[in-house]
Structure 1
Amino acid sequence: MTHTARRMFGLIEPICLVSYLADECNDELAALGHPTYWDGYFASRAAPLGRVPAEVVHAAFYSFADGEAARHIPRAWETIPPEASFAARQRGSAASVRRILGDELAGSPGLVRAADLTAKAATSAPTAGRVMYAGLRALPVPGDPVTRLWHCANMLREHRADGHVAALVGARIGGTEAHVLDALAQGIHPPESFGRIHHLPKKRLAAVMDGLRERGLVDAEGHFTEAGRETKQRIEALTDALATPPYDALSPAELDELVAVLEPLTATLVAAGSR
């Protein structure tokens, strides 16, 4: 089933990326009063957790550097309730999906079926150990098909992310270290130039690279060692394995149908860069 989880990740991810790449979500959050992209990001993504302190958001998100969540949480919730931020995120994201797909695809029977099957998968997995996923599972599933598709794709994305965090913790790979491994896997060199970490203090990045060298995961030039590449591959394989439970709820025929109905939707989103 791990190949199913990997295949579904490729089909689901472009639906979720509109929340980060398209304008509508950010516009909705800005209209609420969030002054920056990152205020809106932290407030709306963490909203299903409730009014937890920054330390909890940092732990759940995992990949951000120390102090980054605290620059936004709880300040981002002081005048705007978490529920309002999440509603704006959902509203804007669904609007992006609808715009990119166009009236024909957005109103098609295939999209309705994709939303229904995605919802069946997304609401069927155990929540134990899945903090972000559990928070989203506690929210109502939207009735509108486009909104339902985004919402349930987002649930599946956070379910996978919870499992990815578990895989990283098991491999003793920290959040910034994970970005270095991702950069190298994508062929980015030096990995410190990766967009997710290039803004961090040079002293902090140097310490991360030194730690990876001491563990034998990168070489003196900052490239993967064999051990580093194998570690990255093990993390990804475990992430796929941990991402399979939602799809156990679907029969083989339903899985095949879900792939078939998602493919044209995802292809359209990919062609637009989910923007």
Structure 2
Amino acid sequence: MDAAATARTVWQLTEPVHAVTYFAPEGRAVFEEAGLRGWWRAYFAGRSAPFGPVGPELVTATFFGFAPGTVARALPSVWEIVSPGRALELRRAGAHAALRRLLAGLETEAARAAELLGRRLEGLDCAGRALGAANAALGLPVDPLDRLWHAATLLREHRGDGHVAALVAAGVDGCESLVLRSGIDVPREALRPFRGWTDEEWEAAAGRLADRGLLDADGRATEEGRRVYAEVEAATDLAASRPWQDPAPEDVDALLTALAPLSRACAAVLPELNPIGLPQAS
């Protein structure tokens, strides 16, 4: 398996581990108990906390797919309730509690995956990657479950920064990226509400893509649209490949073997229709 393919496979296995912070009840409960009612405020507080007490502009730019008004309804007002430092502790505690429950009986695999991922993250190059750099600056925790979650989070934010760059290079904006994806495999109802775009904004983005020949009249991706999407995904994989350019094959095999049952266990809390972009399970 080449480095780009390894990067993609590792992302597919680690994304459910990261996503417990959004979809497991433990991840949501810690923010609610701290006074952050509602899914949006908890999401933006937890994910943007590595940046410090930022406003909506930086988050809209780096998170990319969210409607600016949706971000502005949460930031910077959440920092009046919890500080970024407190939000970081809350997201760690919620993820830890979720993983402790979901990975019961898989502690050996979790510790092994955390160790192997940690090795690949030492000296990770985050040039041009704002979210990746902000999370890398936090350092790797010692506790195996915390380390596992942080490693999964750092890798996905590092990858996400590269994905945003690939979309920008392809001339695709935040809303358009979702509309194009919905024309391929993820239903509109799994994307639009989770990213805060109005029906009018969605239709306007669809019109822009249709004008470029990327969508047909029924909102399905054309052959050209699928080509653009495939090129973005390939560029994303390539940009995420650097941590996987030199490991021994047996180390990669050991990591994937350890991650597989962890990923399956964490995926159990994901809704059937979810906006995180993983391919549908076969």
TM over 0.5: yes
Change (3 A) 1:4 1:10: same
Tell me: CA distance 1:220–1:274, structure 2 relative to 1, closer, same or farther (3 Å). closer
Match of 2:68, SS state, is coil
> In the TM superposition, what are the counterparts of 1:24-43 in structure 2 within 5 Å?
24-43=26-45
Tell me the equivalent position of 1:71: 73
> More displaced, 208-217 or 250-259?
250-259
Instruction: Kindly provide the CA deviation profile for residues 22-73 of structure 1, in whole angstroms up to 9, marking residues without a partner as x.
Output: 1111100111111211111101100001122210111110110122211111
The question of whether the paired residues in 1 share the 8 Å contact of 2:103 and 2:110 is answered with: no
Measure, in 2, the Cα distance between the counterparts of 1:20 and 1:267: 16
Distance 1:201 1:7 in 2: 33
> Which residue of structure 2 aligns with residue 151 of structure 1?
150
Q: Which amino acid is the alignment partner of residue 40 of structure 2? A: W
Which residue identity lines up with residue 226 of structure 2 in the other structure?
R
Q: 2:139 & 2:67 partners in 1: Cα distance?
A: 32
Is the CA contact (8 Å cut-off) linking 1:184 and 1:224 kept in structure 2? yes
Per-residue CA shift, 1:144-188, capped at 9, x if unaligned?
A: 101110111110010110010000000011111111122222153
Supply the AA of the counterpart residue of 1:69: V
- Say if 1:184 and 1:139 are closer, same or farther in 2 by CA, change over 3 A: same
Q: Unpaired runs of 5+ in structure 2?
A: 272-282
TM, length-normalised to structure 1:
0.92
Q: How does 1:180-191 map to 2 (within 5 A)?
A: 180-186=179-185, 188=187
Q: Distance in 2 between matches of 1:201 and 1:120?
A: 43
User: TM-score scaled to structure 2, two decimals?
Assistant: 0.90
| CA displacement at 1:124 relative to structure 2 | 3.2
Q: CA deviation at 1:273?
A: 3.5
What's 1:203 paired with? 200
Q: Which residue identity is paired with 1:234?
A: E
124-133 or 242-251, larger mean C-alpha shift = 242-251
The match for 1:268 is 265
1:167 and 1:31, CA in 2 relative to 1: closer, same or farther beyond 3 A?
same
Partner amino acid, structure 1, of 2:266: L
Compare 249-258 and 145-154 and name the one that shifted more.
Answer: 249-258
Give the match for residue 241 of structure 1: 238
Counterpart-to-counterpart distance in 2, 1:119 and 1:67: 37
Q: State which of 89, 94, 97 in structure 2 corresponds to 1:95.
A: 97
Is the 8 Å Cα contact of residues 50 and 82 (structure 1) preserved in structure 2? yes
Q: Could you tell me which residue of structure 2 aligns to residue 6 of structure 1?
A: 8
Verify: 1:174 aligned to 2:158, yes or no: no
SS at match of 1:70: helix
Regions of 4+ moved over 4 Å: none
Q: Which residue matches 1:117?
A: 116
2:183–2:215 contact (8 Å) kept in structure 1: no
* Matches of 2:201 and 2:112, distance apart in 1: 47
Residue 194 of structure 1 is aligned with which of 162, 181, 189?
Answer: 189
Percent of counterpart pairs with the same letter? 38
Match of 1:161 in 2: 160
